[in-house]
Amino acid sequence: MSAQATPATVAAGRTKTTFTLHPYSVDGDGHSYGAEAADALGVPHARVFKTLIAEVDGVFTVGVVPVSTTLNLKALASAVGGKKAAMADPARAEKITGYVRGGISPLGQRKRLRTVVDSSVTGLPSVFVSAGRRGLQMELAPRDLLSLTEAVTAPIGAV
């Protein structure tokens, strides 16, 4: 395993998915990890997607939205046929995914969770998601992100 190998890069590599890794410097323990990644890489915020863990009717669910937006919990619940959604406790999200906050990737999680990606992803040439640790983003085609995560798309990002 290379120095930049993470469960996310291993999962993508296993399927022969084409992706590019983009390392960047992390400044301290920020709270807008995705926005910091976009700024560090000089990429529009609409192309960098953050991975958020919520509970929809008690079932852990992944919401993947551009860092320029917030996760619309009502829309996330609706996208998976649920009624009520709430953000998961951060410590619980880390335990379930196997990643630390700011480095949670939609790929290579400990357990496959149902995933919804904001529908804006379909109009982009490529997207950036966490590669499984702070300071490392993975760029890949939207169709590959959707395929690897077995995600559905829905308008779940709110400005």
Q: How confident is the model at residue 145 (pLDDT cuts 50, 70, 90)?
A: very high
- Residues 79-135 pLDDT 10s: 999 999 999 999 999 999 999 988 999 999 999 999 999 999 999 999 999 999 989
For residues 20-43, give the mean pLDDT.
85
Q: Give the pLDDT confidence score for residue 1 in this predicted structure.
A: 47
Q: Give the pLDDT confidence score for residue 159 in this predicted structure.
A: 81
Separation in Å, CA 152 to CA 90, 106, 109, 140: 23, 13, 17, 17
| Domains of the chain by start residue, with CATH | 7-158 (3.90.960.10)
For residue 26, pLDDT beyond 50: yes
What are residue 51's phi and psi, to 5 degrees? -110, 120
